[in-house]
A and B are shown apart, each in its own frame.
Chain A
Amino acid sequence: METYTGKSIFKGIAIGKVLFYQKGEQVVKRVKVQDTAAEISRYEAAREEALRQLNVLYEKALKEVGETNAAVFEVHAMMIEDDDYVDSIRNIIETQQVNAEFAVATTGDNFSRMFTEMDDEYFKARAADVKDISERLVNILSGRTDGQGDLEEPVIIVADDLAPSETVQMDKDKLLAFVTRYGSANSHTAILARTMNIPALIGTDISESWNGKLAVVDGYTGLIYVEPDEETLKELKRRQEEDLHARELLEQLKGKEDITPGGRSIRLYANIGGVKDVANVLANDAAGIGLFRSEFLYLEAEDYPDEESQFQAYKTVAENMAGKKVIVRTLDIGADKQAEYFGLDHEENPAMGYRAIRICLDRKEIFRTQLRALLRASAFGNIGIMYPMIISVDEVRKIKEIVEEIKKDLNEKGIPYGNVEQGIMIETPAAVMISDMLAEEVDFFSIGTNDLTQYTLAIDRQNMKLDNIYDAHHPAVLRMIRMTIENGHKHGCWVGICGELGADMTLTKTFLEMGIDELSVSPSFVLPIRKLIREMEL
């Protein structure tokens, strides 16, 4: 397997054979001619033929890929008739007494260089148009027809560069992806790829030796794998299916409400682990973010992240979500998530050890920095704050005191903050058992099913020996969830699930029947679950 990188123009995954696209480019010979008038009329006839071809291409493109993509052929027709271009060709034939092919090729080179030397990327890309019209003329003059338009099987087209007339002539059903060495994000090929929703990479170090080999183009990462190994192929096939599925669902379900036919509605949110995931949340049309794991800020850093860098991260997410809910979980470090600079001791039983809120309430300066950043960011969107690993009412009261202190300080300094909902993770059996009391203290609950299951069943999920007795649907866990929902509702809290069980589609109906208000799942699960909910008998 060989892997190469390019710049991705369109996100998508294509798997197929490579067709190395050979340019119809031939060496144009300089031939002396006696009868320059005859040579000029040969050229004039070729120009007429080129105009006719361009007109046909325009009509074809108009039907297949729309007006925006077709317009290029209109422009080509105008370029071919451009006074300077025409004069230059005639002039070369007459003064140098050479064949029309050579005059066209020389003129084409000169004009395309004029564009190549321009600063602006858009205008630079026009050099390809000049080359394209010149090649068309040379092909007509030398009696060649445009080859390679007919593709026998679906292929990934690999080429140095592709002219718009080349791409339009290709059979659209058989194009899987474009991979080119040259070209720009403004080139017609790039625009075409976007219109056709097929992955495309430019600036790739391509090779003719790929011809006929199996390859995978990953438009998400900008990689092409030539002769991928089995594992890569399998993984990318899976992602391709996911991708196609998501796209189909999106077509059907984008902008639709999360509501059952019987009128039971629910908020379907997404879980994220960093700022860059927001694009995925929006692409999958989630109604909000139900779990923004803030650990990345700490794990990616060499030292405690300061208030400003945290503020910027939270603000960016809040702004990008444009008023939709963003629930940030405060630092949940410890156990399996470690950052060196915290200097945490090795523990015999870290899952039950010094972690999450226990660290925050012990080393309050770390907690204050995060809370202050969150409150400041709340002025820029709809932020909620969620505290992990709660086991007592006392903890919640202490947290609320700190929040009040910070708010007071912000008030005094005239720093704005928004109306922030505060909630807790329900992930310990203790929190479930006192959920009626906890509900009096907070605005919402979010059930962290991963830890709750582990603590309830006393099963370490990392221990593979216990897989056979680990039952994600254990009635004890389901009863805990029901109890949490009932207690929450009785005491004015809304209740969601942000653990993996929330995305378990065999339980979605059960959760809805229990009265769950929100499910927060990986972005890729949002649309499948929306579909399920909208078709549910409830």
Chain B
Amino acid sequence: MRRIIVIDGSLDIDSPALKYAKKASKVSDTEIAWLFLAPTEEGTQSKKIEEHLNLVRQKLEHEGVGFSSYIVAPKPLEFMNKINSLTPANLVLIGDVTFSNEMKKGGVSIESLKEKISCPIANAGTIEAAHARKSSGKEINWGKFLLYFTGSAAIYGLFFPKIAMLNEKLFMSRSVAGALAIIGIIIVHAWVWGNTTHDLPKLFKLEK
């Protein structure tokens, strides 16, 4: 089953986690499975949550998004059992939820979930913050890239062929000057080539 698991404890029908899950679900043709963390034995509160989840279900189904919901007690074993029954999933989206000390002691935290679940885990708050950032900050600075690229080309194209000759005269002459020259060149080269390659993941769209 293709699904997005939402872990949320908010009664807000426009909660960030739900908004993003809905958007992601529409483009990826996945259903939403909502894990609502709340004590299951509190009658009035439980009824209120069920009403809220029904309302959400109606709204989402009206928009053509598959939806299922589960009220889960904030206990590590119950929570992990439910997660295990819903995985594999395509995405886990964490919304307005705080893992209690009991859950943390039982090994439930965002970090441990990342270790146990193979799909991407995203935080709705982080996505919202990233969304608010201006798109210009995400792009490659082509001017800077070109500058460093030119520097790298010069190092490999012009300097590299001369190293054999310079080794005898300076770099491998067993002198303090030669040793210092090597260190200086490494610093400059690591900086120039490092900055040239820094944006490669962005070029391959592996990073924002």
A and B are interacting partners:
no
